[in-house]
Structure 1
Amino acid sequence: MVRWMWLFKQVAYVVSAVAAYFGIRGATEGSVDAAVEHAHLIVEWEKSLGIYVEQTMQGPFIEHAHLATLANWVYIWGHWPVIVVTLVWTGVHHRDVFLRLRNAMLVSGLLGMALFVTYPVAPPRLSGLGFMDSVTETSYSYRVLQPPAFVDQYAAMPSLHAGWNLLVGIAIVSASTSLALRAFGVIMPAFMAVAVVVTGNHFILDVLVGLSLALVGQVASRALERRRDTRPVERVSA
C-alpha cells in the first residue's frame, strides 16, 4: 500500500509539472516576427558552422510518403507515450531511476522554458524557408496528444522533444537487463533527433541545445541523488 501511495504521489507531481509546462509554454507565445527573425538567424549560424543540412535531410521524406509516415510516427508516438510508459515502469520497479529521470526532466524543462520565454524561435515549417510540415499536414494524432491551445508554436529552441527522449533512453538503459530494451533505449533517441528535423519541427541547433540541456539536467539530477544518498540518517532514540 505504501509503495502504491508513493507512486500515486509521484504521478500527481509529474502530471502537475507537465500541465504547468504546457500552460506556461502556451501562455507565453512570443512575437511571431521575432520568432521568424530568430529562426533566420539560426540558419545563418548553422551555415557559418557548416551544419545547415535540414533541407537536404528532409528531401527523401518529401519524395517518399512511407518515409514521411515513419518520421511522423516516431515524432508523435515515440515521445509522450514512451515517456509515460517509462515513468510508470521505473516508478513501479526502479525507484532510483525514476527519481533520476523525473529530476532531470524538471531541471531541463525549467531551463527550456526560460529560453522559450526569452528567445522565441519559429520552427523550420513556420519560418518561410520552404520546409514541409509533415506532421500537421498528414496526421491528426499529434493534435490529440498536444492540443494547439497548450502549445507555443514558436518555441522551437530548444528541442526538448529530442532532449527528453535522450533522458528516457538513458533511464531505459540504466534500468533494463534486456538486450532488446537496452537497444531501444539507445536507438530511440537517435531516431527522435532525426525525426524532429525531417518533419520540419526543429533546426539542428535546436536539437543540439535540447540535448545539451537534457545532459545538464542529468548531471544536476545525479548531484541531487548523491546529496540524498550521503545525507546522514537520523537515529531514533530507544
Structure 2
Amino acid sequence: MGETTVTTLEGREPAVPHPVTAETRPGPLRRLRTPRRPRLWFEILLIAVSYWTYSLIRNAVPEQKAEALRNADWLWELEHHLGIAVEESINHTVDSVTWLIVGMNYYYATLHFIVTLAVLVWLYRSHPGRYAATRLVLFATTGVALVGYYLYPLAPPRLMTNGGFIDTVLVHDTWGSMASGDLKNMSNQYAAMPSMHIGWSVWSGVTIFALARVPWVRVLGLLYPTATLVVIVATANHFWLDAVGGLLCLAFGYTVARLWYGALPHALPRQPRTKPHPRTAGRGRAGERPPAAARVSADQAPHEPIRPTEDGHPPAQARPTTHA
C-alpha cells in the first residue's frame, strides 16, 4: 500500500523577498578624490584665474634687492666650491653665436607657456581620467614656489654686480624675458629661486614620457626639460641650483597628488569611472539577471489569508495525496 502524505497550509511561513538597497553614496571628500571628466569652461576659468593669482602674488613679493644680490653672491660662491660654476662660460660661449642666443631668448619667453598649455590640452582630450591629478601636480608645484620667492629672494646671474654675465636680451635687443629690457617693471626680477621654467618643463616632459605611445614623442618629452636647462643658464636667467629648487618643488607637487588620489597621475585610469545606469545598478555584469537572493520565485510568494465559508465553518482541509 502506498504512503500517504498530507500537504497543509498551516505552519508555512511566506518567503519575504530581500530588499534591494541602493549603493551607499560616497561622502563629499571621497567624491572630490575620485577622478572625474573635466569640464572645459571650468578648466579654462581655473587656469586663467590661477595664473593671474600666481603672477599677482609673485610680483607682490617685495623686491629685496640688497638681500637678493647677497644671496646670489653666496650661491655663486657655493657653486664654485662644488665645482659646478660654469654658467658664465656657457653664457659667453652661446652669446657669441647670434642666431643661437636670439633663438634661446625667444625660447625662454614663449615655450614656457606654450608647451605647458599644450600638455594640459592633450591631457584633457586624451587622458581625462588623469587630467585632474596631473593638473594638481602643476598647481601644487607652482604654489610652493611662491613660498620660495618670498623666503629666499635671489637675483639672477645677469643682474649680479661682479658676476661678469651678459644680459642677452639687452645686448641683442630681443624680447626674451619679462624681467629684462622694457618689460622689467612688469615682473619681480628677484624671484629666481626656484626656477619654474625647470619645474614646468620637467612636469611636461615626465607627463609626455609616461603617457605618450609614440617612441619619438616620448624622446621629445625627455629632451624638452634638458634643452630648457641649457637655455636658462645660457641666457643668464638662472643658476644650476635654481633648477634644483624647481625639481624639489615638483617633487612636492607629485607627493601632494599621490596623497590625495592614492596613486601617481600616470597610474590612474585613462578614462574616469562613470556611474552605473539605475536600471542596471543591481546587476553584476551587463545583461545579467539580478542575483537569486534578490528574486522571489512563484512558490515563495505569500499566500492569500484563509477565509471562512459563508456558513461560518472553516474550509475543508487539503486532500491527501497518495503516492503509488
Normalised-by-shorter TM-score class? 0.7 to 0.9
* Residue 40 to residue 57, structure 1, CA distance change in 2 (3 Å): same
Letter in 2 for 1:130: G
Name which of 174, 177, 180 aligns with 1:139.
174
The answer to whether 1:210 aligns with 2:246 is yes
In the TM superposition, what is the alpha-carbon distance from 1:14 to its structure 2 partner? 1.8
* AA of the residue aligned to 1:208: V
Partner residue of 1:196 out of 232, 242, 252: 232
Give structure 1 regions of 4+ aligned residues with deviation exceeding 6 angstroms: 233-238
* TM norm structure 2: 0.65
- Give identity over the alignment, percent: 27
SS at 1:78's partner residue? Answer: helix
Deviation at 1:78, TM superposition (A): 2.1
* Alpha-carbon distance change, 135 to 105 in structure 1, aligned in 2, over 3 angstroms: farther
Q: Distance in 1 between matches of 2:106 and 2:218?
A: 21
| 1:158 Cα deviation from its structure 2 partner | 0.6
Aligned twin of 2:314: none
Q: Deviations over 1:65-92 (max 9, x none)?
A: 1221232233123210111111112112
Equivalent of residue 15 in structure 1, options 48, 51, 54: 48
Of 77-86 and 193-202, more deviation after overlay is shown by 77-86
SS class of match (1:79) = helix
Provide the rounded CA distance (Å) in 2 between the counterparts of 1:24 and 1:215.
22
Do the aligned residues in 2 keep the contact of 1:30 with 1:117 (CA within 8 Å)?
Answer: no
Q: CA deviation at 1:136?
A: 4.7
- Counterpart of 2:165, as a letter, is F
Instruction: Give the one of 157, 160, 171 matched to 2:207.
Output: 171
RMSD of Structure 2 on Structure 1 (CA)? 2.7
Contact 1:38 1:121 in 2 (8 A): yes
Say whether the 8 Å CA contact 1:124–1:203 is kept in structure 2. yes
Q: 1:182 is paired with a residue of what secondary structure?
A: helix
- AA in 2 matched with 1:139: T
- Please, which of 166, 186, 200 is the counterpart of residue 222 of structure 2? 186
Q: Name the aligned partner's letter for residue 113 of structure 2.
A: W
Q: Which structure carries more helix by proportion?
A: 1
Q: 3-state SS of the aligned residue for 2:262?
A: helix
Measure how far apart 1:102 and its partner are: 1.4
Q: Say whether the 8 Å CA contact 2:105–2:175 is kept in structure 1.
A: no
Q: CA deviation at 1:149?
A: 5.0
Asked whether the equivalents of residues 76 and 142 of structure 1 are also in contact (C-alpha less than 8 Å), the reply is yes
Relative distance call for 1:76 and 1:180 in structure 2 (3 A) is farther
Contact persistence 2:178–2:186 (CA under 8 A)? no
For the 8 Å contact 1:28–1:117, the answer to whether it is kept is yes
